């Protein structure tokens, strides 16, 4: 399995009063400091309700590849926004293949 970290960004669209109220009521739980890459995903947005960001971790088979990961991340983001009764537009997704990340560990100096 390949693991991707996805960041889906977009703008809210067609916000009615109920959706706006629901988003503002939950704004403290969805601020940028709570963002994490999880399988369920994390939705963050500003209080002006103009933009949002959705971070998630997606696992796909090597045969499916990045396109499938991008589709799944987009679907998760759309569902998360729709849960508030809100619409969206201008979605774009950035993926990072976690197999391509190099981890540099600090070397501790040894004192004799």
With respect to residue 108, please indicate whether it lies within any of the assigned structural domains: no
Report the share of the chain in percent with pLDDT over 70: 96
Mean pLDDT of the chain: 92
Give the separation between CA 82 and CA 71, rounded to whole angstroms: 16
**In a 3-state reduction of DSSP, which class is residue 47?**
coil
Give the separation between CA 81 and CA 55, rounded to whole angstroms: 12
Q: How many domains does the chain have?
A: 1
Domain assignment of residue 80, given as a range = 2-100
The CATH code of the domain that includes 69 is 3.30.70
**In a 3-state reduction of DSSP, which class is residue 89?**
strand
pLDDT tens profile 39-90: 999 999 989 999 999 999 999 999 999 999 999 999 999 999 999 999 999 9
């Amino acid at each position: 399995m390949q693991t991707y970290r996805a960041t889906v960004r977009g703008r809210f669209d067609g916000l009615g009063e109920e959706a706006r109220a629901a988003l503002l009521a939950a704004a403290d739980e969805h601020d940028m400091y709570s963002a994490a890459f999880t399988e369920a995903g994390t939705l963050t947005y500003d209080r002006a309700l103009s933009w949002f960001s959705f971070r998630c971790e997606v696992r796909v088979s090597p045969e499916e590849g990045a396109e499938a990961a991008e589709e799944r991340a987009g679907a998760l983001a759309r569902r998360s926004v729709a849960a508030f009764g809100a619409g969206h537009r201008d979605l774009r997704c950035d993926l990072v293949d976690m197999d391509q990340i190099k981890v540099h560990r600090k070397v501790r100096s040894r004192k004799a």
